[in-house]
């Protein structure tokens, strides 16, 4: 067929072309005169101008891929935490400065336009953001890929802080329209729930099963183009929205019942209304399970449709699609692909199973046992009677194999079964994902090792060849180029800009660490970034912070294992030292926290209240005299994170060893020249290896020490009794010093530490406080600190998501780049 011609017109990327297209969009898309155009009109017109460029490349991508014998990566994720599109797309297109120029000529502030964009907060934290980084890298590496997920009408809630407490507000990101997506009302799927199954004989006399569902909804595709960095590859993020099936069709079911039909519509649309705001662990709610199945079924049907379009034969499906399961949220896909192949396409079980296993890969993201998804069999079978049967059949065959390998070892059979029967009956989603995948990976070296030794030990013993590590990465485009233009310019002045694709080249900066003039420049950029953050903090909290003080930052979801409260204990210790010795010599520090707590996680919310209460006291106490400030930055999201990472001097990565699978904030900080104080947990281990032990502040127990301490009986009280400073710190909280004399407020927190201390804060407190002392000393030697800071940035190349995606492509997906030409 003829190549699509869409050169000239809106595809014109010259300055004049962009300006003309922009004006056209103000007029014809927004329907406004320039003189009455609102901020949102201008934003929308800019966004559409940029989108035209993306669509041009997208069409070229689709066109040049069609008919080729290629393999597509399909990334299945319940979350994509994309962040704002506009600036990122300008960078990837290479027209950032052009557009700044146009805005200036047309007479408005581009920053105001950027601020207008609502970010799609379709994720909780690390896992969702990782998916977004991976989409950026897949496109940047010119790998054909589709991201599949859910188009939540309400993403992660907006966080407000009132009287020190977190208050959740609905995220209405679609209120003013979303210029980045294309609704595809003609791309739909049907997804069913409930009902029963029924055996029958097909026309060839074969035994088959049909599913007679109770209700059916429609999935509608919404497509967002994902452009790579300075390439023409424009991939697809396809998110599904649930709707009721066409009214005339279900009239047959609801004869003349108009109100019943409207109820049905509301009920159906419920499925994609809202993102569940829990990170780990997830809650076992029916609607959540419906969401998972809904998007997985739509996505698999869509892939089969695309595949058949190309005339492919089903038994070769895995040569053309590699499906990655982002944790177990889409693990139902294993059973659903089997159902589609066997029940709908008439394949036999064995070849269908072969296709399924060869197609799926599974990434695990957590070691917390309580975060491993399991669903009550009753709930599961009620919603998915046919999938339940398929899972039993998968399990029967699988456990036969286990018994063949380990005859008589029924304990092992019980441990490995897809059904947990150790008290109630549950479907174990991680086991389903392991059995149905040819590849299983963790997200950092330590995490992958602990998976093999502990959480998935039996599976590793049975099929060691399936296991590998893929250490997480983050995209240097968003988290360095976009977030930190000052540092980017400084680096470019020294080593050019090829490191943006190949961040290993940042190593060329190492010699600059010895150059005093460069160090001076490096500090100047950092100071500017700190001033910028100080301004935003003033606007959002009213708190004045001193950009000359050390910015010590911990931003991440609130969770006890992440130990924000260990950080607080240390702050109180410093405060206590000042109170006991008013002339205590402390290098001035600003402690900045940020992150959301799951709305139902009482202890996490109490920690937020504690941070704010300590802040209120410390920030107001004249004795402190500028040496300490404590700030809680409200509503941490991708948009706000941009102010934070570039402004950090010190990055807090202080989880209990063995609990944080990888962490990715740790990478974002270090890339931007922050030094890390951290435990040997997740990717911290590898970051320390890369930047050098002498440029990293290590403290705390190792994962092995944590386990053996737990095994031998951990008694927090012993650490408490042995450490007078810790006693004074805890006493200040317990006595109501930070709560206007209220001894009840923080009692749950104090008691949890004194009597359980599940995450071993007391065991690590001494070592943490000591190393914080070394941080204080190190910061006084500003030249040396700057040296370490430069070396951190220079040595972070490994943690680019491009490296991670290359590894997935080579080891798991077996896919190759397909360069796209524009003309």
* Interacting residues with ligand Z2T (CB under 6 A): 124-127, 130, 279-280, 327, 365-366, 371, 443, 472, 660-664, 682
Contacts with 353 (C-beta within 8 Å, 6 or more apart), sequence order: 338, 394, 397
Rounded distance between C-alpha atoms, residue 608 and residue 162, angstroms: 11
Q: Which of 25, 557, 605, 795 is catalytic?
A: 557
* Active site annotation includes 328: no
Minimum distance of ligand Z2T from residue 667's CB (angstroms): 9
Q: Which of 551, 641, 658 is nearest to 595 (CA)?
A: 641
Residue 495 buriedness (CB in 10 A; 0-12 / 13-18 / 19+): middle
Find residue 260's DSSP bridge partners. none
Minimum distance of ligand Z2T from residue 131's CB (angstroms): 9
Q: Which of 668, 688, 787, 795 is catalytic?
A: 668
Rounded distance between C-alpha atoms, residue 820 and residue 68, angstroms: 12
Minimum distance of ligand Z2T from residue 390's CB (angstroms): 24
Contacts with 457 (C-beta within 8 Å, 6 or more apart), sequence order: none
Our CB check for ligand Z2T shows the closer of 242 and 325 to be 325
At residue 606, what are phi and psi to the nearest 5 degrees? Answer: -70, -35
Minimum distance of ligand Z2T from residue 764's CB (angstroms): 18
Characterize 663-686 residue by residue with b for buried, 16 or more Cβ atoms within 10 angstroms of its Cβ, and e for exposed. Answer: bbbbbbbbbbbbbbbbbbbbbbbb
Q: Which of 137, 145, 152, 136 is nearest to 79 (CA)?
A: 152
Rounded distance between C-alpha atoms, residue 98 and residue 351, angstroms: 54
Give counts: helices (H), strands (E), the chain: 32, 24
Rounded distance between C-alpha atoms, residue 295 and residue 291, angstroms: 6
Our CB check for ligand Z2T shows the closer of 91 and 371 to be 371
* Active site annotation includes 557: yes
Q: How many CB atoms lie within 10 A of CB 558?
A: 24
Our CB check for ligand Z2T shows the closer of 279 and 521 to be 279
Our CB check for ligand Z2T shows the closer of 128 and 797 to be 128
Our CB check for ligand Z2T shows the closer of 663 and 716 to be 663
Q: For residue 585, give both structure tokens.
A: 């010599």
Provide the phi-psi class of 177: left if phi over 0, else alpha when psi is between -120 and 50, else beta. Answer: left
Minimum distance of ligand Z2T from residue 562's CB (angstroms): 9
Q: Which of 21, 664, 676, 679 is catalytic?
A: 664
Q: Are the C-beta atoms of residues 455 and 369 closer than 8 Å to each other? A: yes
Our CB check for ligand Z2T shows the closer of 90 and 661 to be 661
Find residue 236's DSSP bridge partners. 146, 225
HSE-up (13 A, CA, CB side) for residue 158: 12
Q: How many CB atoms lie within 10 A of CB 655?
A: 25
What residue number has its CB nearest to ligand Z2T? 126
Q: Which of 472, 460, 806, 430 is nearest to 660 (CA)?
A: 472
Q: Are the C-beta atoms of residues 209 and 199 closer than 8 Å to each other? A: yes
Our CB check for ligand Z2T shows the closer of 613 and 653 to be 653
Minimum distance of ligand Z2T from residue 158's CB (angstroms): 18
Q: Are the C-beta atoms of residues 564 and 555 closer than 8 Å to each other? A: no
Q: Are the C-beta atoms of residues 45 and 22 closer than 8 Å to each other? A: yes
Q: Which residue has the tokens 């599976």?
A: 459
Our CB check for ligand Z2T shows the closer of 341 and 371 to be 371
Our CB check for ligand Z2T shows the closer of 666 and 739 to be 666
Contacts with 615 (C-beta within 8 Å, 6 or more apart), sequence order: 543, 629, 630, 631, 632
Our CB check for ligand Z2T shows the closer of 124 and 672 to be 124
Sign, CA torsion 255/257/260/265: positive
Q: Are the C-beta atoms of residues 12 and 822 closer than 8 Å to each other? A: no
Our CB check for ligand Z2T shows the closer of 472 and 567 to be 472
Minimum distance of ligand Z2T from residue 759's CB (angstroms): 14
Find residue 192's DSSP bridge partners. 216
Q: Does residue 459 sit in helix, strand or coil?
A: helix
* Active site annotation includes 562: yes
- Could you give the residue ranges of the DSSP H alpha helices within 593-698? 602-620, 638-644, 665-671, 684-691
Minimum distance of ligand Z2T from residue 25's CB (angstroms): 36
Q: Which of 452, 526, 530, 562 is catalytic?
A: 562
Minimum distance of ligand Z2T from residue 799's CB (angstroms): 11
Minimum distance of ligand Z2T from residue 581's CB (angstroms): 39
Q: Are the C-beta atoms of residues 636 and 159 closer than 8 Å to each other? A: yes
Find residue 217's DSSP bridge partners. 191, 244
Our CB check for ligand Z2T shows the closer of 385 and 678 to be 678
Minimum distance of ligand Z2T from residue 124's CB (angstroms): 4
* Active site annotation includes 664: yes
Minimum distance of ligand Z2T from residue 79's CB (angstroms): 7
Q: Are the C-beta atoms of residues 142 and 233 closer than 8 Å to each other? A: yes
Q: Which of 419, 424, 369, 375 is nearest to 398 (CA)?
A: 419
Q: Which of 10, 151, 556, 787 is catalytic?
A: 556
Our CB check for ligand Z2T shows the closer of 194 and 281 to be 281
At residue 353, what are phi and psi to the nearest 5 degrees? Answer: -65, -40
Q: Are the C-beta atoms of residues 74 and 299 closer than 8 Å to each other? A: yes
Minimum distance of ligand Z2T from residue 446's CB (angstroms): 11
Rounded distance between C-alpha atoms, residue 656 and residue 62, angstroms: 46
Q: Which of 252, 292, 257 is nearest to 271 (CA)?
A: 292
Rounded distance between C-alpha atoms, residue 587 and residue 456, angstroms: 46
**Which residues are tagged catalytic?**
365, 556-557, 562, 664, 668
């Amino acid at each position: 067929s003829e190549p699509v011609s869409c050169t000239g017109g809106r595809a014109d990327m010259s300055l004049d072309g962009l300006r003309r297209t922009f004006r056209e969009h103000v007029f014809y898309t927004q329907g406004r005169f320039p003189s009455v155009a609102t901020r949102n009109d201008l934003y929308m017109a800019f966004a559409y101008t940029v989108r035209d460029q993306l669509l041009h490349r997208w069409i070229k991508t689709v066109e040049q891929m069609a008919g080729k014998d290629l393999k597509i990566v399909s990334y299945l994720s319940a979350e994509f935490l994309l962040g704002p599109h506009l600036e990122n797309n300008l960078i990837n297109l290479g027209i950032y400065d052009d557009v700044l120029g146009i805005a200036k000529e047309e007479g408005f502030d581009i920053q105001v336009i950027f601020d207008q964009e609502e970010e799609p907060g379709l994720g909780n934290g690390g896992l969702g953001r990782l998916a977004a980084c991976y989409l950026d890298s897949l496109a940047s590496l010119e790998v054909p890929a589709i991201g599949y997920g859910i188009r939540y009408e309400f993403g992660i809630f907006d966080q407000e802080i009132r009287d020190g407490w977190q208050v959740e507000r609905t995220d209405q990101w679609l209120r003013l329209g979303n210029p980045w997506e294309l609704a595809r009302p003609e791309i739909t799927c049907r997804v069913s729930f409930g009902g029963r199954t029924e055996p029958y004989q097909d026309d060839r006399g074969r035994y088959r099963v049909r599913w007679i569902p109770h209700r059916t909804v429609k999935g509608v595709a919404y497509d967002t183009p994902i452009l790579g960095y300075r390439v023409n590859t424009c991939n697809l993020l396809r998110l599904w929205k649930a709707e009721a099936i066409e009214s005339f069709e279900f009239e047959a079911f609801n004869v003349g019942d108009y109100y019943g039909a409207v109820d049905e519509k509301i009920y159906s649309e419920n499925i994609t209304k809202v993102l569940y705001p829990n990170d780990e662990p997830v809650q076992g709610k029916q609607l959540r399970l419906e969401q998972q199945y809904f998007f997985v079924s739509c996505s698999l049907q869509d892939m089969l449709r695309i595949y058949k379009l190309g005339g492919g034969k089903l038994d070769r499906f895995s040569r053309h699609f590699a499906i990655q399961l982002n944790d177990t949220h889409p693990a139902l896909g294993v059973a659903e692909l089997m159902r589609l192949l066997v029940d709908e396409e008439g394949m036999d079980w064995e070849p269908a199973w072969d296709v399924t296993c060869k197609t799926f890969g599974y990434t695990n993201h957590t070691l917390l046992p309580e975060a491993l998804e399991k669903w009550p069999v009753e709930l599961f079978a009620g919603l998915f009677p046919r999938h339940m049967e398929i899972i039993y059949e998968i399990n029967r065959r699988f456990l036969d194999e286990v018994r063949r390998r380990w005859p008589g070892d029924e304990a092992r059979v019980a441990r490995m079964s897809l059904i947990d029967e150790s008290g109630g009956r549950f479907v174990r989603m991680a086991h389903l994902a392991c059995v149905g995948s040819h590849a299983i990976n963790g997200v950092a070296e330590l995490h992958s090792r602990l998976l093999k030794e502990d959480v998935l030990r039996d599976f590793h013993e049975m099929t060691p060849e399936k296991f590998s590590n893929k250490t997480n990465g983050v995209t240097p485009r968003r988290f360095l180029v976009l977030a930190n233009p000052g540092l980017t310019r400084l680096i470019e002045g020294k080593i050019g800009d090829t490191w943006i694709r190949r961040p290993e080249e940042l190593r060329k900066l190492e010699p600059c660490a010895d150059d005093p003039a460069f160090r001076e420049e490096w500090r100047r950029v950092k100071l500017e970034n700190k001033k910028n953050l100080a301004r935003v903090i003033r606007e959002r909290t009213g708190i004045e912070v001193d950009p000359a003080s050390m910015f010590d930052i911990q931003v991440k979801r609130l969770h006890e294992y992440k130990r924000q409260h260990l950080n607080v204990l240390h702050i109180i210790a410093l405060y206590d030292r000042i109170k006991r010795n008013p002339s205590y010599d402390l290098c001035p520090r600003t402690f900045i926290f940020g992150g959301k707590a799951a709305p139902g996680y009482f202890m996490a919310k109490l920690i937020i209240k504690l941070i704010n209460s300590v802040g209120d006291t410390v920030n107001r106490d004249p004795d402190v005299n500028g040496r300490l400030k404590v700030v809680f930055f409200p509503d941490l999201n991708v948009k706000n994170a941009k102010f934070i990472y570039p402004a950090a001097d010190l990055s807090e990565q202080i989880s209990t060893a063995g609990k944080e699978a990888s962490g990715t904030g740790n990478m974002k900080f270090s890339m931007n020249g922050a030094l890390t104080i951290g435990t040997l947990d997740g990717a911290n281990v590898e970051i320390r290896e890369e930047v050098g032990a002498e440029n990293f502040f290590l403290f705390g127990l190792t994962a092995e020490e944590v386990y053996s301490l737990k095994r031998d009986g951990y008694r927090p009280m012993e650490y408490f009794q042995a450490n007078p400073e810790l006693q004074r710190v805890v006493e200040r909280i317990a006595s109501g010093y930070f709560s206007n004399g209220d001894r009840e407020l923080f009692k749950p927190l104090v008691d949890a530490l004194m009597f359980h201390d599940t995450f071993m804060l007391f065991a690590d407190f001494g070592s943490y406080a000591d190393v914080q002392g070394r941080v204080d000393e190190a910061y006084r030697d500003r030249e040396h600190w700057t040296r370490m800071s430069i070396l951190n940035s220079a040595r972070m190349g490994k943690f680019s998501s491009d490296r991670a995606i290359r590894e997935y492509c080579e080891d798991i997906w077996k896919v190759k780049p397909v360069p796209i030409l524009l003309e």
